[in-house]
Every structure is written in structure tokens, then in C-alpha cells.
Structure 1
Amino acid sequence: MKNKWITKNRLKNLTLIFVGSLLYAISVNAFTVPNELTEGGLTGFSLILFYIFSIPPSYTIFIVNIVILAIGYKFLDKRTLYYTLIANGIISVLLLVVKEWAFIPETMLLAPIGSGLFMGAGIGLIMLGHGTTAGSDIIAKLLQKYAGLAIPTALLLIDILIVVPSGFIIGAENVFLTLINLYIQSKMIDFVLEGLNPKKSFFIISEKYAEVAEAIEQQLGRGITILDGKGYFTKEKKEILYIIISRREVLRVKRIVEMIDPNAFMTISQVQEVTGEGFTYLSEEVQAQRITEAQKEWDY
């Protein structure tokens, strides 16, 4: 009989969480602790306790995160809470498993680079698995939901507030190295969550909007939306072109617009995620399958 609890999505999420947790543990034990660096958020708090009182980070990270989850569980949906509890447990165990791993480079700058790459990749994979590492990740999700901040930016801000005061314990030089670590982390999380080819959105206002739209469609094969607008000062009606493209296509669009209408007004923005036809089109059969699996998964 087929096990209804085990689905492809759930196995995928658990795999992402396990690999992410392993990278997280390697970052802490192999790069951060041996080189007397710290981290942001509650992990950084746990490391400060370790440097002062020699309390193993695996214990403090687990206990503090459980407390945070107990306080903030209502801000997480049932699925995220479920996977976060799993991630927290796996991280605590793996921190004990790889506690003897250490990498102390001759070039000190390699330590924060390695720590940032591993930690950023780990957190990103855990988030892709619909979990968090609790602590500052929960706060980051709240900031994303209520303040509109991107998760990497929110994490970076929280981490800085934790790291800067730690200079009294690990020294100013190691604080600067830790800030490098955190910056690399934020970029690595961004890379894992958005991939190699993040999207850009264009708003284009031009008197020759029809020619611009036709040229973009013919040369790039991208669909374009025409929005109705009105100038506040002139009260004139304007047609606004809206298009989402890959980063590699930005220069081509700019050149097309500038060639047809040098006076056109353009804004270019970073797009966090794009779903739907033309970007992540799924057949009706696959859509139905994913909806069914997602509904089952939300029960856990």
C-alpha cells in the first residue's frame, strides 16, 4: 500500500533541509568557531555564550530556538513550523557530529568567505525546503511580511545588530571579518533563493509605445502588458508598458527603447520571484498533482 504521508514534495523538502542543516553545521564548526568569528542572530548569541562560558553551541542553539518558536509559532503556518522543528533538531545533532572539523587558513580572509558561503547556502536550502533555522529567520520572515524587506536584507540588518557589540569579546578585527561573512551569507541566500538568472521588471512610458512593444516582442519574444496611466501634472493619458525579463536581456531592452524613442521614461526594478505562463508554465495534469500534494502536505 502506498504511504500517503510520503510524497515527492515532502521528500524533496526534507532532503533540502538535511543538506542545508549539514552546510550550516559545517559553517559553524569548521570555519566560524576555529577562527574565533561569530554569526548574526541567535546563532551569534549562542557563539558568544560559547566564547565566554564554553557552552556547546548545539545546546544553546536548540534551546533558544525552541523558546523563540514557542513565542512566535503563531506567526508561522503549520507547514513551516513543522519543517522548522525538524531543521532545528537536525542542526543541533549535526553540530555535535562535525564538532571536530576545523579549517584554519593561513590567509585569514578565507575563513569568513568559507563561513559565508556554507552558511548562506545552508539557510537558503532550508528555506527552499519551507523551513527556517528559527531565531532571526522567523524575525526576517515577519519583516518580509509586514515591512516588505527581502529576506537576505532583513537577515543582514538583524545580524549586524548582534555582531557589532560582540567586538568586546572577539575583538574589532574579527568583527570586521564577521561582517564580511554576513555580507557573503546574504548574497549566497539571495543566489540560492533566486537562482542564476534573477528577473527584472520594466515600466516604459513612451509616445511610441506601440513601436517599442512590437520591437521587444519580435526581438525578445516576451509578452508585454499595456497599462492605462494619467499624468498628474499634465492630466494627459499615457500608455505604460510593463514587461518582465531576465537580467541578461536588460541591455537589449534599453537599446531597443533608446533607438525608437530616446525621450522614453523607463524604470527598472528587481523582481523577487516570477510564476506563471511564460516563466514557470505547468501542464494542467502537473498543476493538479501539485495542488493535491500541497493540500496533503499542509496537514503536517
Structure 2
Amino acid sequence: MDQLDRFNRRYNFISKLSAAFFFSIAVAIALNFFWAPGHMYSSGITGFAQLTNSVTEKYFPFTISTSFMYFALNVPLFILGWVKIGHKFTFFTIVAVVLGSVMMHVIQPLEVHWDPLLCAIFGGTINGIGTGFALKNGISTGGLDIIGIVIRQKTGTSYGKFNILVNLIIIAAAGFIFGWTRALYSALTIFINGRVIDAVYTQHKKMQVMIITEHAQAIIDGIQGKMHRGITILHDAEGAYGHTEKTVLLTIIDRYDLYDIREIVKQADPYAFMSVSEVEKVYGRFKEQEIV
């Protein structure tokens, strides 16, 4: 058992490190291959770092690089993550941000003149995949990721929607610096980035599951043993076709739990009826998956 625990810890460490490295490559490619050549801004801390780079380059005798500013702006947010989210989570966030800063510097911008619409689409998609993959593996890419996770833990607000809302200020800045056409493309890439993050990182999405079964206790034991979810039991239900007595089970799960609950139901009662629907909000007692 100890050997299995060591293997799981080693696998978890490698998967998080790989996710951090994958993100660093994705953000560097999005920034230097698409956003910089297209003169548009990213979302979140990356966008603010780009803004700082543009302002210092245009109005100051010195230039602060995007890669340096990306790291500097994240430093106070590391403290927030350490206190509010978890130590391991913040450690790998620091790794992801450091790798991202290094890759932004190492992977140089392309001197190309691509259509800005393509730059917006590909930049937002590539960065969204990298960020979503990092979040899915239990780490953050820094900045608004950390703020978004803290707010989501308190309110249940979608991370991607929060990201889009906060970045309105970046769109306005893009309009003043590069013109309102570029602001439109920045808005498009921020929107795509947020939607791709939500598509890849689905842990925060809640699902309501209704199960109609003749073997309720076996399913209840399986769900509570593996997922520790609360279940509402409705007795004395009757099937209209065979007029057999059934039990209705209602529970709320994370989307990540969907595969597990399907397997539990299949093993306990292959003839059970199960319906699943997405839940917009959950009020009351619901245990979030912990981030450490």
C-alpha cells in the first residue's frame, strides 16, 4: 500500500509539472506568434503585462518586458494562493509562472503580418487550452486564475465568465493604444480564451443526477463510499410499464464525477434509469473538491 501511495504521489507530481510546462509553451506561442504580431492583448495578468510593455515602450525611455512584468505582477497573488487555496497548488503555480516567463523570453516573437482575425482566434484558443489543461491538473497559471478560483469557491461563479468581465479594462486600453479595431480583436481573443478555458476545465460545473432504481442501497453505498456526496431518497415510486416499486435518488456532483457515478450505477443496477442535467447554481451544503 505504501508503494502504491508513493507511485500515486510521484505520478501526481509529474502530471502537474508536465501541465505547467505545457502551459508555458502554450502561452509563449500564443503571445509571441499571434498576439504580439497582431498587436492585440491577452486576458488577465498576461494582458496587463503586455499593456505595461506597450506603455513603457511608447512613453518611457526604458522598456519593461512582458515576460518580466508577467512574473512581477504575479508575486503578490502567490501570497493570496498560499493563504486561501493551498500550498501545493501555489507551489506549482509558481513553477508554471516561472516557466511561462522563461518561455516568453526564450521563444522570440515572429516577424510576420498575419490576418489579425486569425491571430485572435489562434492566440485565444492555444492559450485557453494551455490554461484549461493546467487548471484541470490542479494548478493555476497565476493572476486572475487565482482570483477566479477564490471567487468560484465562495460564489460558484464560472471562471471563464469572471475572466471575460474583468478584462473589459484591457479591451479599453487596447482601443486607446492601438485603435478600436485592435480592441475588437482583443475582445475576440479574450472571449475565445475564456470559452476554451471553460470547455477544457470543467471541474467547477455541477450536474444534477436523477437515478430510478430497484437497488437503491447498493448505489447509495457506492456513491457515498467513492464521492462522499449527499443523496435525497424518494421512496414509493412506481414504474408505469411494469408497475414495480422503485426508488428515486437525487444528487449533485462535479462534472468530473460523472464517469464514476455511471460506473457505480451500472455495476449496482444495469437496468437503472439515470438522467443528468447541468446546474447553474448550488445553494446550501455542497462539498467542493479540495485544491491543495
Q: Which amino acid aligns with 2:90?
A: L
The structure 2 residue matched to 1:128, chosen from 127, 136, 146, is: 136
Q: How does 1:263-274 map to 2 (within 5 A)?
A: 272-274=255-257
Q: Contact between 2:25 and 2:103, CA under 8 Å: does it hold in 1?
A: yes
Deviation at 1:171, TM superposition (A): 1.6
**Gap change, CA 1:280 and 1:17, over 3 Å in 2:** farther
Q: Work out the CA distance in 2 between the residues paired with 1:274 and 1:194.
A: 11
**Gap change, CA 1:118 and 1:53, over 3 Å in 2:** same
Q: Contact between 2:174 and 2:186, CA under 8 Å: does it hold in 1?
A: no
The structure 2 residue matched to 1:278, chosen from 261, 265, 286, is: 261
Q: Which amino acid aligns with 2:257?
A: V
Q: Work out the CA distance in 2 between the residues paired with 1:72 and 1:277.
A: 29
Deviation at 1:172, TM superposition (A): 1.1
Deviation at 1:43, TM superposition (A): 1.2
| Residue 162 of structure 1 pairs with residue 170 of structure 2 | yes
The structure 2 residue matched to 1:19, chosen from 17, 22, 26, is: 22
The Cα offsets for residues 242-272 of structure 1, whole Å up to 9 and x where unpaired, read as: 668xxxxxxxxxxxxxxxxxxxxxxxx9964
**Gap change, CA 1:242 and 1:155, over 3 Å in 2:** farther
| Residue 68 of structure 1 pairs with residue 81 of structure 2 | no
Q: How does 1:83-94 map to 2 (within 5 A)?
A: 83-94=92-103
Q: Work out the CA distance in 1 between the residues paired with 2:253 and 2:172.
A: 29
Q: Work out the CA distance in 2 between the residues paired with 1:139 and 1:194.
A: 17
Alignment RMSD: 3.5
The structure 2 residue matched to 1:36, chosen from 34, 39, 48, is: 39
Q: How does 1:254-265 map to 2 (within 5 A)?
A: none
Q: Which runs of 5+ in 2 are unaligned?
A: 58-63, 214-222, 224-230, 236-245, 265-290
Deviation at 1:102, TM superposition (A): 5.2
Q: Contact between 2:90 and 2:139, CA under 8 Å: does it hold in 1?
A: yes
- Per the normalisation by structure 2, the TM-score is 0.67
- In structure 1, the residue matched to 2:86 is 77
The Cα offsets for residues 175-201 of structure 1, whole Å up to 9 and x where unpaired, read as: 111111111112211222239xx9853
**Gap change, CA 1:50 and 1:280, over 3 Å in 2:** farther
- Per the normalisation by structure 1, the TM-score is 0.66
Deviation at 1:27, TM superposition (A): 0.6
Deviation at 1:164, TM superposition (A): 2.7
Q: Which runs of 5+ in 1 are unaligned?
A: 205-212, 215-222, 230-238, 245-268, 282-296
Q: Secondary structure at the match of 2:141?
A: coil
Q: Work out the CA distance in 2 between the residues paired with 1:89 and 1:280.
A: 40
Q: Contact between 1:203 and 1:240, CA under 8 Å: does it hold in 2?
A: no
Deviation at 1:112, TM superposition (A): 0.5
Q: Contact between 1:31 and 1:103, CA under 8 Å: does it hold in 2?
A: no
| Residue 138 of structure 1 pairs with residue 141 of structure 2 | no
**Gap change, CA 1:202 and 1:160, over 3 Å in 2:** farther
**Gap change, CA 1:227 and 1:35, over 3 Å in 2:** same
Deviation at 1:100, TM superposition (A): 3.1
